[in-house]
Amino acid sequence: MAVKNVNLCVCIFLFLVALPLYSQANPSKPKAEKPSPFEFIKHLEGCHKGEKVEGLQQLKAYLEKFGYLNYNHSQNQNHANDDDFDDLLEAAVKTYQLNYHLKATGTLDAKTVSQMMKPRCGNADIINGTNWMRGGKKRPDHGHNALHTVSHYSFFQGNPKWPSNQLTYAFLPGTNSNAQSAVARAFDKWAAQTHFTFSRSQNLGSVNLKIGFGRLEHGDGVPFDGRGGTVAHAAAPTDGRFHYDADESWSMGAEPNAIDYETVALHEIGHLLGLDHSSVREAIMYSEVPVGATKGLHGDDIQGIKALYNIA
């Protein structure tokens, strides 16, 4: 979503400064199939530290986008724009593997490549170097007499939240009726589990939450990347912006090769309320977006929002 400190699902949407409304684009199915923006990762399978392979520079940009890699304060700054598989890239791959419950080898094995290629939320997994996805609670393992981390929900840095439990929302021009009804249902589901009430307004200028579509560079400083790749993003409190990617194939419910409006709305509303990504695969706040399937709120999501707002 030019934005400062953005920690969006491409993103890094934390606290955004006030900006003009973004340009709108009506969603439509692409006329011709194009490769996913993440397709380049496929031919990197098997790459590991010490190799030089074309496409690793793109992988570095991918991992930087989602918070795993930052050459700015490294002695290896000169490797940021090359195809060398260096120590920093290996460490980033290991962290990614840990976040997604994969074996942390640092090598781009088949499971890691498959996970990286999946459509996902544009918000970053790691913000300003803090890996919130691995910040789980500790619990004793009585069988081994040790402490183990429990993967769970996370919050944005600084735990931003809304000062009021009565929020208003409106749709940006061009938002189709299917998306509008799906978003309204998603708000109802979050309301049923929280102290929030969500009221729709026609006055776009005065609402807390603004929802609509964008395509590629759409005015918020966090461009989409075409079909596949990142499919939506939303800002942390109290910015209130949520965008669907207009280039995706969207559906009402589970349809082959399409993405369900309501499933994505549930996820992005979680961001709007202050939840960051969860490392629980079944949670709605898991960053991966299912294709051809639907998903609902999970106990981890409900536990997270109640913890953030001290809801009994």
Same domain membership, residue 182 and residue 104? no
Number of domains within the chain: 2
Residue 45 annotated to the active site: no
Residues 186 and 257 in one domain: yes
Mean pLDDT along residues 183-189: 98
Q: Do 191 and 278 fall within a single domain?
A: yes
- pLDDT for residue 170: 98
CATH number reported for the structural domain that contains residue 256 in this entry: 3.40.390.10
Residue 129 lies in a domain: no
Q: Indicate whether 142 belongs to any domain.
A: no
φ/ψ of residue 260, rounded to 5: -75, 125
Is the predicted pLDDT of residue 62 greater than 60, yes or no? yes
Residue 29 domain flag: no
Distance separating alpha carbons of residues 230 and 27, to the nearest angstrom: 15
Point out the domain boundary residue: 58, 88, 117: 117
Q: Is the pLDDT of residue 239 over 80?
A: yes
pLDDT of residue 127: 84
Stated pTM of the model: 0.84
Query: Other CB atoms closer than 10 Å to residue 178's CB: what's the count?
Result: 14
- Give the pLDDT confidence score for residue 4 in this predicted structure: 35
Residue 132: the pLDDT is 67
Tell whether the model's pLDDT for residue 146 goes beyond 50. no
Name the band, by pLDDT with cuts 50, 70 and 90, for residue 210.
very high
Residue 140 burial (10 A CB sphere; 0-12, 13-18, 19+)? exposed
Q: Is residue 31 part of a domain?
A: no
Dihedral angle over CA of 46, 75, 92, 11, nearest 10: -120
Q: Is residue 63 part of a domain?
A: yes
Secondary structure (DSSP) of 106-162 = SS--HHHHHHHHS-B-SB-SSBTTB-GGG-PEEEEETTTTEEEEEP---B-TT----
Check residues 155 and 74 and name the one with the higher pLDDT: 155
Per-residue pLDDT reduced to its tens digit, 30-48: 445 678 999 999 999 999 9
Q: pLDDT confidence of 23, banded at 50, 70, 90?
A: very low
User: Is the pLDDT assigned to residue 150 strictly greater than 80?
Assistant: no
Same domain, 81 and 197: no
* Same structural domain, 112 and 172: no
Please, which pLDDT band fits residue 12 given cuts at 50, 70 and 90?
Answer: very low
Same-domain status, 199 and 300: yes
Q: Is the pLDDT of residue 167 over 70?
A: yes
pLDDT at 233: 98
Domain span at residue 185?
166-309
pLDDT at 142 over 90: no
Minimal CA–CA distance to 291: which of 126, 168, 154, 118? Answer: 118
User: Can you give the CATH number for the domain in which 88 is found?
Assistant: 1.10.101.10
Q: Are residues 290 and 209 in the same domain?
A: yes
Q: Which of 82, 117, 152 is the last residue of a domain?
A: 117
Average pLDDT over residues 94-116: 97
Q: Which residues are annotated as a binding site for Zn(2+)?
A: 121, 218, 220, 233, 243, 267, 271, 277, 285
Average pLDDT along the chain: 86
Torsion of the alpha carbons at 20, 22, 23 and 25, rounded to the nearest 10: -160
Taking only the tens place, the pLDDT of each residue in 241-271 is 999 999 999 999 999 999 999 999 999 999 9
State the average pLDDT over residues 111-133.
91
Within a domain: residue 134? no
Note the pLDDT tens digit of each residue in 80-97: 899 999 999 999 999 999
User: What's phi and psi for 105, nearest 5 deg?
Assistant: -95, -25
d(CA 170, CA 277): 24
**Is the pLDDT higher at 21 or at 278?**
278
Residue numbers in the known binding site are 121, 218, 220, 225-226, 233, 243, 245, 248, 267, 271, 277, 285
Instruction: Tell me the β-bridge partners of 149.
Output: 138
Catalytic residue among 45, 54, 217, 268: 268
Co-location of 192 and 302 in the same domain: yes
Residue 21 lies in a domain: no
Give the residue-averaged pLDDT of 105-113. 98
User: Quick one: pLDDT at residue 135?
Assistant: 52
Does the pLDDT at position 209 exceed 70?
yes
